Amino acid sequence: MKKTILTLLCGSLLMACTETYRPAYHHTPEQNWMNDPNGMFYDDVNQVWHLYFQYNPYATTWGNMTWAHSTSTDLIHWTHHPNAIMPDSLGTIFSGSAVIDKKNTAGFGENAVVAIFTYAEKMGQMQAIAYSNDGGYTFTKYEGNPVLTADIKDFRDPKVFWNEATNQWNLVLAAGQEVRFYSSPNLKEWTYLSSFGEGYGNHNGVWECPDLIQLPVRNSDEKKWVLIVNINPGGPFGGSATQYFVGEWDGAHFTTDQTQTLWMDCGKDHYATVSFHNAPNHRNVVLAWMSNWQYAEETPTKKFRSANSLPREINLFVDNQNQYRLGIYPSPEVLAIPTEPSSELAPLAKIEVSVTRGNQPAVISLSNDNGEQVIMMYDFDKNTFSFDRTHSGVGGFAREFPSITTTDLMVDAQQYKLLIFIDRCSIEVFDADGHWAMTNLVFPTKPYNEVKTNGCKAELYKIGK
């Protein structure tokens, strides 16, 4: 049975939307627990985005991992479908990816959707495949599973892509504190190619959910490969975060001369980020799980737990240190959400902020009648932007929740613009020129209804009715 659960007119229509902290224009599970986005792909024939996700069908905390399934035609409104891949005697179903096998390399049929996932059980983790001949709605597990095993404890989250240059599939997965690369002609037999990790990036946690994608560098014909590696714990503000490496991929080895650890989002609630396979028009669309393992199971929602981030498009630019950086924008679908200018701050809102560099910090604060507030600030001496949620509302559910997150501005401009998206319990701040993004959850006891600015200008928009 299909059920459209996200609508900008929600509340009056559906039970699913009546919870205080239920986001309205972000994907959430109808009920129970969700973590990582999995197997995301775009069906170009039917023009449908498919999103699977780590799901516990029985509780609002982690367990019984299953791939649940939602689809969307605009990345904003989502329809839930029956669970796609369920646990069996080989284990529960951990994270992974999906591809459309256009050339029928696996022999499951032309255009079969092939999911590559991790079986997890007490004895260890291994990779397996399942195929769908109905466009991704129902899957049959391959009888030759598992397709890839190893003698290490943490061996998971396979992400597969087609390599035009070698006419083969490539797979990257997380193996302890490194990633490993493999190749295959048919998605069933995998050959080890190389590993990457030692001596690079952050190692204060386990590496998880990697992805490898080629991205254009802005204002040039150049392209570079970006290796995304989620890590937990070890994030810049504690707990989970997404780091990345910019370099080269020769079909067998990833190399980089990057020396600094770089983070894809500078908030506390942006994890397990990976890209959509087969996105149209060479778009590079990513989605994150909008939470942090430090407190994900404690957040004060009732019927459901966790949401995804807004969809984002990524590319590369060169920053003021002459270093490649990941550029991040809200997807065009996000910018197309209908909005209306508003004099008050609404619970579903967009704020456009314009700032001119000055001698004093520029401050934007959001507050409610209960004295709860979020304070955002440009500090031009330090060339940083920060987000303070220490007094943002309900925050006592975890010691690690109250926090201040900071990013450097990446460029030395005179003018800056921000796009801020508020959806009840989430605030996503985007530098409007796509230099950085910052994603943080907040749980105000009443919606923030006032915006104050100092040294900058804010225009308020209401989202939905």
Active site residues: 36
Q: Which of 101, 157, 269, 423 binds ligand FRU (CB under 6 A)?
A: 157
162-184 burial by CB neighbour count: b if 16+ within 10 A, else e? beeeeebbbbbbbbbbbbbbbbb
Tell me if 65 contacts ligand FRU by CB under 6 A: yes
Residue 71, token pair as written in the block: 């689809």
* Alpha carbon separation from 185 to 101, 118, 164, 235 (Å, rounded): 11, 20, 12, 36
Of the pair 209, 429, the CB lying nearest ligand FRU is at 209
Q: Which of residues 267-286 bind ligand FRU (CB under 6 A)?
A: 272
Tell me if 209 contacts ligand FRU by CB under 6 A: yes
Three-state SS letters, 302-319: CCEECCECCCEEEEEEEC
Of the pair 235, 447, the CB lying nearest ligand FRU is at 235
Strands lying side by side in the sheet with 32-43: 3-4, 79-85, 66-72, 48-56, 32-43, 304-305
Separation between Cα atoms, residue 8 and residue 374, nearest integer Å: 24
Smallest distance, Å, CB 156 to ligand FRU?
5
Tell me if 156 contacts ligand FRU by CB under 6 A: yes
Smallest distance, Å, CB 65 to ligand FRU?
5
Smallest distance, Å, CB 83 to ligand FRU?
14
Tell me if 36 contacts ligand FRU by CB under 6 A: yes
Q: Which value, in Å, is the radius of gyration of the alpha carbons in the chain?
A: 21
Of the pair 35, 127, the CB lying nearest ligand FRU is at 35
Q: Which of residues 3-32 bind ligand FRU (CB under 6 A)?
A: none
Residue 67 contacts residue 115 (beta carbons within 8 Å): yes
Separation between Cα atoms, residue 303 and residue 264, nearest integer Å: 30
Residue-level length of the chain: 465
Of the pair 86, 318, the CB lying nearest ligand FRU is at 86
Handedness of CA 57, 63, 66, 72 (dihedral sign): positive
Separation between Cα atoms, residue 333 and residue 75, nearest integer Å: 7
Smallest distance, Å, CB 137 to ligand FRU?
22
Tell me if 208 contacts ligand FRU by CB under 6 A: yes
Smallest distance, Å, CB 365 to ligand FRU?
32
Task: Find out whether the peptide bond into 347 is cis, omega within 30 degrees of 0.
Answer: no
Q: Which of 32, 54, 97, 202 binds ligand FRU (CB under 6 A)?
A: 54
Name the β-bridge partners of 120: 92, 125
Of the pair 63, 358, the CB lying nearest ligand FRU is at 63
Smallest distance, Å, CB 379 to ligand FRU?
32
| Coil vs helix vs strand at 265 | coil
| Coil vs helix vs strand at 449 | coil
Q: Which of residues 160-199 bind ligand FRU (CB under 6 A)?
A: none
Of the pair 209, 460, the CB lying nearest ligand FRU is at 209
Of the pair 94, 421, the CB lying nearest ligand FRU is at 94
The candidate with the shortest Cα–Cα distance to 72, out of 311, 283, 430, is 311
Could you tell me how many residues of this chain bind ligand FRU (CB under 6 A)? 12
Smallest distance, Å, CB 182 to ligand FRU?
17
Residue 255, token pair as written in the block: 């190399």
Enumerate binding residues for ligand FRU (CB under 6 A). 35-36, 54, 65, 94-95, 118, 156-157, 208-209, 272
